[in-house]
Amino acid sequence: MRKLFLILLLLLAVGLTACGGGDADDSSASTSGGDAQRGEELFTSPTIGPASAPGCITCHSLEPDTVIVGPSQFGLADRAATRVSGMSAEQYIRQSITEPDAYVVEGFAAGVMYQNYGNELSAKDITDLVAYTLSLHNQ
């Protein structure tokens, strides 16, 4: 019986590892498993993450040409792949969340965006946010 218990425990551990386990540093996670609907819920929440950091919507509008603090996210999916040479839209958006000052849009200041999303949000949260923002087209 004890041997069966240990085998089940091992299988559970392997299963959790395969699912990602919420490792916030997994920058290689793909949006292929992203849940855009959950990403929208995260994006539009007034606070996000365990530190109750400002939610995306507190600084980024979803309306065209509307600036709150940061650039409007309207049409982000259409612009993201052209922002940094050699980066896909997914890579650019993921980096913008986890390393906000790696690339700063012209007309905006570095250091304004909350700097700890990459440390505080789970890999799943970030992947879901990326999946949602990749749905923001100029329509």
Tens of pLDDT, residue by residue over 11-35, are: 444 333 333 333 333 333 445 689 9
The range of the structural domain enclosing residue 92 comes to: 2-133
Residue 35 DSSP class: -
Q: Is residue 67 part of a domain?
A: yes
Q: Is residue 139 part of a domain?
A: no
Q: What confidence tens digit (pLDDT) does each residue in 48-89 have?
A: 999 999 999 999 999 999 999 999 999 999 999 999 999 999
pLDDT of residue 88: 96
Q: Is residue 138 part of a domain?
A: no
Provide the number of structural domains found in the chain: 1
pLDDT of residue 33: 80
pLDDT of residue 32: 61
CATH number at residue 64: 1.10.760.10
